[in-house]
Amino acid sequence: MSTLLPPSPKPPTTSRRKRGFRPLVDLPVLTWLAAAVMVALIHPLVPAPRWLMLHLVLLGAISNAIVVWSNHFTHTLLHVADEDRRGEQVRLSLLNAGVVAVVGGVLSEIWLITLLGATAVAVAVGWHGWTLARLLRTTLPARFGRSVRYYIAAACFLPVGAVFGVLLARSPEEPWHARLELAHAAVNLLGWIGLTVIGTLITLWPTILRTRISDRAERDAARALPVLVVAIGAVVAGALADQSMVAAAGLAIYLLGVGLIGPSFVDTLRRRPPTTFPGWSVLVGVIWLVGCLIALTVGIGTASSWTAAGSALTWLTPYLAVGFGLQVLFGALAYLVPVKLSRGPSRVRALNAVMDRGGPLRITVTNAGLLVCVLPVPSVVRVLASMMVMVALVSWLVLFVITVKTARRLMRAEPGAPSVAAAPGVAGTHAGAHTGRPAGQTAGFAALGLALIVLAVATGVAVDPAAAGAGSGATTAADVQPTGQVTTVDVTAQGMRFEPSTITVPAGNRLIIRLTNTDTDVHDLVLDTGQQSGRLARDGTATIDVGVVGRPIEGWCSMLGHRQMGMVLHIQVTGLPASGGSESDRMESGAPRADDHEHATNHGGSTHPEDSTGDDSPSAADDLDFMAKPPADFTAHDAVLPPLGKAKVHRRTFTVRDVVSEVAPGVKQAQWTYDGQAPGPVLHGRVGDEFVITLVNRGTVGHSIDFHASALSPQKPMRTIAPGESLVYRFRAKRAGIWMYHCSTMPMSAHIASGLFGAVVIEPPDLPKVDRSYVLVQSELYLGPQGGSADAAKLQAERPDAVVFNGYVNQYDHRPLTAKVGERVRIWLLDAGPNRPSSFHIVGAQFDTTYAEGTYLLRGGPGGSGGAQSLGLQAAQGGFVELSFPEAGDYPVVSHLMIDAERGAHGLVHVTR
């Protein structure tokens, strides 16, 4: 039997110019990848960045590569000339126009554009599949024509996936959204991309490794295809029929189909292990596919609801896209591009060497970095690891450009060299092909890549030592004699309590605490010895070796407000001498009681918000001067109500971030924020509009979001998510008003006081137009140390240091709101609290219209005889006032709870003619 695919008996009749680099065919892949890199760099500024990056890679880059290379391989395997270059270019143009329209339609929230784009993509790929089917039907049977059947089946799936994508763009409610998302992913990732990759690797895998094709490859390919197709159908059927176990079974069957073709893949691998970047990249890509399929099968099969199943898919999709999709794409093109651009063995060798530069280093950094991201590591570590992965992936783009330039230079240097076909099974015969690097150099590059990832992890731990469990110990033995015995206690953190909350230890015993966080929020355990567990996400564990215990020890959770809610641990000692463990001994040792709120704690040097509790600790309130002016470059929080667009579906991504912000002249506080600002972004819509909000937690503790403008069960969309996680919150605005949104993670008062709140303005259907609209959100400041977090003791005692409009003391005294005489001005008001009411008043003006909590209190208008002097609001209530200013001047804006006006709830409206 022949060990290599025979070359085409007659190469396609094309001009020399068309054999090489064709911009319209080859550039889109590079362009879409470059666009994905740009979005990754500026993702905080881009709407729906996760969706956008995934679709730029999968729908843009990989789909273009599939259309180009499956067409190329089909002509090569069937031994026919490619005489339809113009048709190929038209199909690619239609495909890319469709991708642009899909992206533009989703980002602009115009469903019709999305529909047109998806239709164009479906038509382009359907036309591509029909072209391949016609070639297969009209040519003589070929040994590996089975690969073409994979391409045809794959092309049949994408139009189905486009339909699901269009339906998803309509933002269906749960559980339909999760079910459609799974069906969409199944037909596109497993059908369109998965079948194409598997069908291609039947012949391309041995070609990359430069060895013969397995004798069983053709038989395995024939057996696997129907299994894979049935599996995809089962996943889709299970999702649409609300049968998650059927969908999980479909994924398991898909794994079986991959397993059917696995023996020929492994046989080739055993015969000739990879030595260059293309082989290694394809190999690890396939491993990621299998690993993700196993994880997804388990995740769907064990999910308690479709929302949970959707979360599993959401978590795995980036690893499928990068670990599987991009690595297989980069590996295949790293082999094929040099062959396609070459015209002689020496050029193949030269171009392969370019694409193989630093191969082991790039492979190690990419995959070790991805594995770090999979693990439950601190968010700083995950960010640094993902940055390393992106650098490694971007290096491929750089080498691609260098390869093209090198090919052109070699072409000019040797214009008469013979051409080499880029075909599976043929390129392996190149005598001058690049064959890799010495084993020692390969190991050295791999070790360097691993060292870089270890360095990234170490840097992340250094930045956030508490998250990694670093802490300082202190002796606890006092004057007791060690017994040599060990007391080990399992403690769980759940619901603002440690269980057990009291531990009893014989004096002289060594104590080991094994702490497990079974809560959705982040917790830790800090002992008065200075030892601590470090922050633990959900299901995280840590062990604290307390040492030999000779006195009572107190412990607590240092997350903001958790200690005040009773999250304390008492370690009691039995068998102490009569003088041991007394209160005087405790005071001499400087150890605070767990219920002593007069002491601030910051053991271990953590720079993140801690449980700031002290009247005795330095407070930024000491630097608070209500008469001080902000710096000259100060920019006030924009109080202008965002314009109301035409879109009926509002998509936003809210990213929770820890920031240090100035809240008064010379006063800075560590805040938890939505999108880096407190209050968070103002949302503006009409009754009946739909809001799709993606919440991403880039903070250091668990957070959530609760939209008062929604009416739905709170358990799922308002759940706390750990650092690095995300969720999608969908709701339809059914009633008008200004609605508060805020973090509902306990202690809720601390999360709101730290900046996690904002406003949603839903206009009544008959709302008159006005000349100017402003939004003012009143809140309170409970100042901790300069640059530190809110003071939980002040918060619990309801002793605010300042009350502010839009997050900054007296800011509109220095940067006034503006209006003109006679203009109609509407000011939307929200009292975010968390504790204080508001009585909104404008000195020198009268309100002719007032609206509170969804109804008009006064609707006299400019011609009415009635008026109002203030609008009273309790915490979490809102409304608006309307007025016209009678003459030019500066009109003070205050809360008429005068103590609040005197401590920051004050501003001006500057009125001109």
Check the annotation: does 743 bind a ligand: yes
Q: How far apart are CA 663 and CA 809, in angstroms?
A: 6
Q: How far apart are CA 487 and CA 482, in angstroms?
A: 12
Residue 574 backbone dihedrals phi, psi, to 5 degrees: -105, 155
Q: How far apart are CA 811 and CA 829, in angstroms?
A: 16
Q: Rounded to whole angstroms, what are the CA distances from 584 to 473, 570, 581, 592, 597?
A: 22, 17, 8, 12, 18
Cα end-to-end span (Å), the chain: 95
Q: Which residue has the tokens 């000779």?
A: 550
Q: How far apart are CA 431 and CA 421, in angstroms?
A: 14
Residue 889, CA atoms < 13 Å, CB-side half-sphere? 11
Q: Rounded to whole angstroms, what are the CA distances from 455 to 450, 629, 717, 795?
A: 9, 44, 37, 40
Check the annotation: does 703 bind a ligand: yes
Check the annotation: does 684 bind a ligand: no
Q: Which residue has the tokens 């293309």?
A: 278
* Rg over CA atoms, the chain: 32
Tokens of 587: 């005071």
Task: Please answer whether residues 908 and 812 qualify as being in contact, where contact means their C-beta atoms are separated by less than 8 angstroms.
Answer: yes
Helices 196-209 and 146-168 cross at an angle (nearest 10°) of 130
Residue 599: count of CB within 10 angstroms of its CB:
17
Check the annotation: does 177 bind a ligand: no
Plot region of 270 (φ>0 → left; ψ -120 to 50 → alpha; else → beta)? alpha
Check the annotation: does 896 bind a ligand: yes
3-state SS class at 850? strand
Instruction: Provide the strand spans (E) within 404-519.
Output: 486-494, 497-499, 502-506, 510-517
The DSSP line for 701-765 is: S-B--EETT--S-STTTT--B-TT-EEEEEEE--S-EEEEEE--SSSHHHHHHTT-EEEEEEE-T
Check the annotation: does 742 bind a ligand: yes
Q: Order of strands across the sheet with 690-697?
A: 667-674, 649-664, 690-697, 726-732
Q: How far apart are CA 569 and CA 502, in angstroms?
A: 6
Task: Please answer whether residues 800 and 835 qualify as being in contact, where contact means their C-beta atoms are separated by less than 8 angstroms.
Answer: yes
Tokens of 210: 């430069």
Would you give the DSSP letter of residue 323? I
Name the residue type at position 815.
R
What residue numbers does the annotated binding site for Cu cation cover?
Answer: 703, 708, 742-743, 751, 896
What residue numbers does the annotated binding site cover?
Answer: 703, 708, 742-743, 751, 896
